[in-house]
Structure 1
Amino acid sequence: MPAQNPVELLHAEYAELHRQPASTLTPDQRRSLVFFGSELASRGGVHIPATVPRDVAGWIRNLFALEAFVRCEGRLPRENRRLPDGVISANERQRANSVRSQRRAFVAGRLCAYQMRRLLCVPGLSFQPLERAWRANFTAYALFTASHGDAPKLRSTHATERALARWAAKARLAYRANTLSPERVRTLNGLDFWTWGAPRRRD
């Protein structure tokens, strides 16, 4: 039997939850089941039943459109406004706006558990992409120092090493400008071969 994909696993979990008495469920679980049941009734987004609440129907329609875009393009929609006009299609801009809206809703605490978990089933999607990128760079920096016994250099002939060195330089600039969070300061202080290159501030 083939392994279930993330969406199938999520649906199986909520199918089990659906069998529980409504009186035993939390408000978030009941709200989540509305989205779960509505999605199942709207397979593929070709036809969403009229009984589905308007806000839920709009969310499902955008979810299916985003998944279709990712399947076709192999990536999330771009938001780069510096690209020349016409490079990003109207459909891609619409999908990018939808992703941005969901990230704002996540930060504001407006998404139920099912919405959050269902969106994270979309390949590559993150609610905090900048934090995710920072963590990825931090991990790569730590792996580099562990394997090379030294910090990456800006003058290296290797592009990956130069990129890590630039990331570190930006972190130091943010530190000196007092815009680097205390949590990141502590995290970076735990790295081997890490220096700030300037007198440290007091936390």
Structure 2
Amino acid sequence: MGRRSVEVAPVGEDLTQLIALWLEARVDAGSSPDVCARAVSDGRFAEAMRRPGVQAFVATLDGTPVGYTITTDNPFGLSPTPEVAVEQLFVCPEARRHGVAKSLLTVVLSVAERAGCEQIVSNVPTTSREANRFFARLGFASSVTRRVVGTGPLRRRLAPETAETGLELTRRRRSLRQRAFVPTRSA
């Protein structure tokens, strides 16, 4: 049996295929389907795709959309040479090991070379063993550990004396609920 046909095309104005794949990727990564759907319905996803330097490509396997990549130009703006960043790369589980990710990265390489970029970077989740191995096999080296925190937890760590603890917050909520619900006695 021969290798199945993988084709990669840039995403234009019609984001339908990309959105379907993006939703699948986000849910596969553990995000809530409702939260993801809200990002699409309120236009945040489409707005992000219209930012300068953002490009997306969808891969099809025998005509069926099975993967995508989203790239940006020079993500941090501080590099001395231009870079292309692979912001997201996703292949549907049933289409993995058919050359889809390599086909997507081949297009990213072409885009980088046309733009005169000397480097391609990718943020790979440390918890994704399979993705880390894939990128390492292609020669991507680890150069930085990127750590992320929400503003609330950081505030609590930086100024614990001003931030409410979970226990204090729970007590205040219960107190407010009790005041709001005052049972009436029937005689």
Q: Same fold (TM over 0.5)?
A: no
Q: Which band: TM-score by shorter chain?
A: under 0.3
